[in-house]
Amino acid sequence: LAGLGAYMLFVGIAGDPDSPQQAETGGITLFLLAALPLVAARGLRLGRRWSRGPALITQLMALPVAWTLYSTGGAMIAAAVALAAAAVAVSALLVNPTATEALGIGPGEQAR
């Protein structure tokens, strides 16, 4: 995503796109989407309770990508299976009671 964002920004600034404003906005949006998993991972590492939502959203976004790879067929099927397995496994770990307890989320927890 970051690479595509850089390309879109470059084309928007130095190239000749149909709409420079749209290319630049798209590039910035892709940079932000590329930063989301990194910010969520850092928050989880630091035990921040807000980070579970963005981490789950990232895993949910990976599932349609896996389906698209699977639909492509050929060698992409292996990549699709690996991506889907990783997304499902991480999602399961994020909602695991041990993880929710470590993040201070769940029944019986007091607001911090």
Other beta carbons within 10 Å of 85: 11
CA 54/CA 16 separation, integer angstroms: 35
Structure tokens at 88: 């499902």
CA 22/CA 28 separation, integer angstroms: 10
Q: What is the pLDDT of residue 16?
A: 84
Q: What is the pLDDT of residue 110?
A: 54
HSE-up of 20 (CA within 13 Å, CB side)? 6
The residues spanned by each domain of the chain are 1-46, 48-112
- The pLDDT profile of the chain, 112 residues, written as one tens digit per residue, is 899 999 999 998 988 888 889 999 999 999 998 999 999 999 999 999 999 999 999 999 999 999 999 999 999 999 999 999 999 999 999 999 998 898 888 765 555 5
User: Full-prediction pTM beyond 0.75?
Assistant: no
Q: What is the pLDDT of residue 107?
A: 66
Structure tokens at 106: 């769940």
